[in-house]
């Protein structure tokens, strides 16, 4: 026989949805082979089943197959005149007598025949899953069951033979007199009349069977099963008979043997139940711990998302695009950008050793370090960061890093700390340059500063710079081949006429197709920086917009600023000015949208929060207006405009005491603030009138 491996068993499980225990099939197969001595199990099974399933059926008595598979095998058995229904009927009787001990109460309680019939659905569920019995009516001498089955796998005609055998087993056990099994309705078009006393409605929408009996005075329990049987009753049951023309052969089952075996199974079952209880307890404990860990990881992920920018704004003709694919909930890859005044911007990408929470912790430390050091030399930034990382992390982790500073004429000064060397695509020639520099890790060696060196390179319009972590090149396909730098360079060359975002999308699409069907083995980040070819056109639209704004032609100013935004959608200066222009045009909802985006890009501009608060105020969103005015006040000490607008919000919300308090605070900064004095006077008079109205209802 073919060896069954875990993989083949899994394959079988996915191919054959369990619906029928093979115990019924094996019983019928045994009878079939006795009647057909010239055939073997393999011969009858191979006609309907693959080899591995043939083997599985013969060696594993606990295996399950689909009802369709069982039906196909039964059909082939019946081709030579073998009575499948007879054999299935005998199997049902055998199963009932085998399972009878398990259906009885665990203690000395005795069951009547009526109560025992209520437990028959349990026997069915142990052998058939594609239908089940449900008791819908019960009297002293009759019980009615509904056969509930799935529409795509209804009960078969031979299932009634199986049920007849089961109920005949109960008759033998309880010595019931004058009984019959009636099919009142069936979804089938016919049934085998040899096993059904009366057939009612065929092709019905439901199947109903009724068991009737005249008398049953015997009660049966586990400990009293034999004691309650009359002396004349044999302790054996005939469970099958075969007529071989000349001789009639009988097979018997010893009831005492069945009971003893059942008792052994009960003891084993109790041990299993105790083991299951322990496993369930451990499982519940693991679920609780898993939920706690998952909650912590989600919190860590949200914190990390807060420190890693979700957008990098366009800056003076530079456009930034990135793809960030963490391997787990939290990542060891970290990228950021830094404003160096109005004429420089800093870009960095790092890769922390390891994965998960420890790596994410180091990225959080790195965020603080790189934010603190805004020096003109990336090499000096690395030297300072390396020293502090060693003090904080104690050489328990390290990171590779690229840090570059780009000025307004696109000169890039950069340093590499053990990171993959960035790839530069020259637009004018279509050639590739791999940036020089190596350096060493940050946070590992105290003398690392001697290896850090600044390099310079000039970027030209149309050029694109690609910075990435090594997880990109280590991505594998289903043959174990890695993505490799040569493949990446080839894709970059093909994207020469694309902008930064289009090029990145193209590369990552090919990368994901390359790695399809394999698990991600590392965090992956790719950052693309493109120098736009449309800087002159952008500057022209922006200058015209500013000219119209100064002339108070706000509508035209907005039109031209929108044209500038089409070229650089996330340029922070455009977003702010467009929000301001729209507010002057009294398009407060539109203005809010652009100012919200502007404020999300690490701008820290008190005026943007002031204007956004005013837009919220005009659209009667007083809760958000209050928050924006408070932010504007926190960014600029003595911001009396924000304070006065906040007092107006409080007045709209009828919080007059708060309004007076903030107006009085304005006067501490500007004692001659006329509007505040007038507002305080009016509010005090209002409060006095309210007080008088309350005292004189």
Encode pLDDT of 299-316 as tens digits.
766 666 667 888 899 999
Averaged pLDDT, 117-140 = 86
Question: What pLDDT is attached to residue 315?
Answer: 92
Q: Where in the chain is the domain with CATH 3.60.40.10?
A: 312-531
- Reported CATH class of domain 84-233: alpha beta
Paired tokens of 485: 């730098």
Give the highest mean pLDDT range of 226-240, 593-607, 666-680: 666-680
φ and ψ of 334, to 5 deg:
-150, 130
Region for 182 from its dihedrals, namely left if φ exceeds 0, alpha if ψ lies in -120 to 50, beta otherwise: beta
Number of residues that make up the chain: 697
DSSP result, 273-324: HHHHHHHHHHHHHHHHHHHHHHHHHHHHHHHHHHHS-S----BTTEEEEEEE
- Helix, strand, or coil (residue 139): coil
Cross-strand partners of 429: none
- Residue 467 phi/psi, 5-degree rounding, is -120, 135
- Residue ranges of the chain that CATH labels 1.25.40.10: 535-695
- Residue of higher predicted confidence among 280 and 244: 280
DSSP states along 317-356: TEEEEEEEE-SSSS-SEEEEEEEETTTEEEEEEEEESS-H
Q: Which residue has the higher pLDDT, 199 or 482?
A: 482
Residue 192 has pLDDT above 90, yes or no: no
**Placement of tokens 């100012």 in the chain:** 595
Range picked from 14-18, 248-252, 642-646 for highest mean pLDDT: 642-646
pLDDT tens for residues 307-355? 788 889 999 999 999 999 888 777 788 899 998 877 899 999 999 887 7
312-531 homologous superfamily: PPM-type phosphatase domain (3.60.40.10)
- Min mean pLDDT across 113-117, 257-261, 391-395, 490-494 is at 257-261
pLDDT given at position 23: 84
Considering the chain, what is the average pLDDT of its residues? 84
Chain-centroid distance of CA 343 in Å reads 44
pLDDT tens digits for range 550-594:
999 999 999 999 999 999 999 999 999 999 999 999 999 999 999
Intervals of CATH 3.30.1380 along the chain: 84-233
213 bridge partner residues: 179
Confidence of residue 47 (pLDDT cuts 50, 70, 90): low
Mean pLDDT of 495-504: 94
How far apart are the C-alpha atoms of 349 and 369, rounded to whole Å? Answer: 14
What global pTM score does this model have?
0.56
CATH topology of domain 535-695: 1.25.40
Both structure tokens of 439: 């350096």
Q: Which of 282-296, 395-409, 422-436, 679-693 has the lowest mean pLDDT?
A: 282-296
Please state which of the ranges 49-53, 169-173, 244-248, 522-526 shows the lowest mean pLDDT: 244-248
Q: Which of 211-220, 266-275, 385-394, 566-575 has the highest mean pLDDT?
A: 566-575
Distance CA 439, CA 163 (A): 80
pLDDT of residue 248: 44
pLDDT at 550: 95
Q: State how far the Cα of 266 lies from the Cα of 548, in Å rounded to an integer.
A: 92
Least confident of 20-29, 153-162, 237-246, 454-463: 237-246
Rounded to whole angstroms, how far apart are CA atoms 529 and 520? Answer: 25
């Amino acid at each position: 026989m073919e060896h069954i491996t875990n993989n083949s068993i899994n394959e079988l499980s996915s191919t054959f949805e369990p619906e029928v225990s093979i115990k019924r099939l094996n019983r019928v197969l045994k009878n079939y082979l006795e009647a057909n001595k010239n055939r073997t199990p393999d011969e009858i099974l191979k006609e309907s089943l693959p080899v591995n399933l043939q083997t599985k059926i013969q060696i594993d008595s606990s295996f399950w197959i689909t009802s369709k598979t069982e039906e196909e095998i039964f059909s082939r058995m019946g081709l030579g005149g073998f009575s499948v229904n007879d054999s299935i009927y005998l199997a049902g009787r055998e199963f009932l007598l085998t399972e009878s001990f398990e259906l009885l109460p665990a203690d000395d309680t005795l069951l009547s025949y009526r109560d025992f019939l209520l437990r028959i659905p349990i026997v069915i569920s142990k052998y058939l899953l594609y239908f089940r019995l449900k008791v819908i009516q019960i009297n002293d001498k009759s019980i009615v069951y509904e056969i509930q089955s799935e529409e795509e796998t209804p009960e078969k005609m031979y299932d009634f033979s199986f049920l007849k055998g089961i109920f005949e087993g109960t008759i033998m056990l309880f010595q019931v007199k004058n009984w019959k099994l009636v099919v009142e309705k069936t979804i089938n078009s016919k049934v085998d009349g040899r096993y059904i006393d009366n057939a009612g409605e065929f092709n019905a929408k439901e199947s109903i069977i009724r068991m009737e009996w005249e008398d049953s005075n015997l009660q049966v329990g586990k400990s009293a099963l034999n004691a309650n049987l009359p002396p004349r009753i044999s302790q054996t049951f005939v469970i099958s008979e075969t007529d071989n023309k000349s001789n009639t052969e009988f097979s018997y089952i010893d009831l005492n043997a069945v009971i003893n075996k059942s008792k052994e199974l009960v003891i084993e079952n109790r041990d299993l139940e105790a083991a299951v209880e322990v496993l369930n307890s451990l499982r519940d404990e693991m679920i609780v711990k898993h939920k706690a860990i998952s909650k912590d990881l989600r919190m860590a992920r949200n914190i990390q998302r807060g420190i890693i920018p979700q957008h990098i704004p366009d800056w003076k003709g530079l456009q930034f695009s990135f793809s960030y694919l963490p391997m787990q909930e939290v990542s060891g890859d970290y990228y950021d950008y830094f404003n160096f005044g109005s004429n420089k911007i800093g870009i960095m990408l790092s890769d922390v050793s390891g994965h998960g929470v420890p790596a994410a912790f180091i990225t959080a430390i790195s965020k603080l370090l790189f934010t603190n050091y805004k020096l003109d030399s990336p090499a000096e930034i690395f030297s300072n960061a390396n020293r502090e990382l060693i003090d904080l992390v104690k050489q328990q982790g390290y990171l590779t890093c690229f840090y570059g500073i780009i000025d307004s004429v696109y000169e890039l000064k950069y340093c590499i700390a053990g990171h993959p060397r960035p790839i530069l695509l020259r637009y004018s020639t279509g050639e590739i340059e791999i940036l020089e520099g190596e350096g060493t890790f940050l946070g590992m060696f105290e003398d690392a500063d001697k290896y850090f060196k600044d390099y310079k390179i000039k970027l030209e319009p149309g050029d694109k710079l690609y910075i990435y972590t090594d997880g990109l090149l280590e991505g594998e396909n289903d043959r174990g081949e890695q993505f490799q730098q040569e493949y990446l360079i080839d894709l970059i060359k093909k994207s020469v006429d694309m902008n930064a975002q289009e090029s990145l999308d193209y590369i990552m699409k090919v990368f994901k197709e390359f790695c399809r069907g394999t698990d991600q083995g590392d965090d992956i980040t790719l950052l693309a920086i493109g120098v736009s070819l449309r800087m002159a056109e952008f500057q022209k639209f922006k200058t015209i917009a500013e000219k119209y704004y100064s002339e108070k032609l706000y509508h035209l100013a907005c039109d031209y600023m929108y044209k500038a935004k089409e070229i650089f959608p996330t340029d922070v200066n455009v977003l702010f000015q467009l929000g301001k222009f729209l507010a002057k045009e009294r398009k407060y909802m539109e203005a809010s949208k652009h100012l919200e985006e502007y404020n999300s890009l690490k701008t820290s501009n008190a005026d943007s929060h002031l204007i956004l608060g005013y837009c919220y105020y005009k659209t009667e969103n007083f809760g958000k207006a209050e928050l924006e005015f408070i932010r504007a006040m926190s960014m600029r000490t003595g911001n009396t405009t924000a304070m006065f607008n906040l007092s107006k919000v409080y007045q709209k919300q009828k919080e007059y005491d708060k309004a007076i308090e903030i107006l009085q605070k304005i006067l501490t900064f500007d004692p001659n603030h006329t509007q505040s004095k007038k507002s305080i006077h009016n509010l005090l008079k209002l409060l006095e009138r309210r007080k008088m109205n309350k005292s004189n209802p």
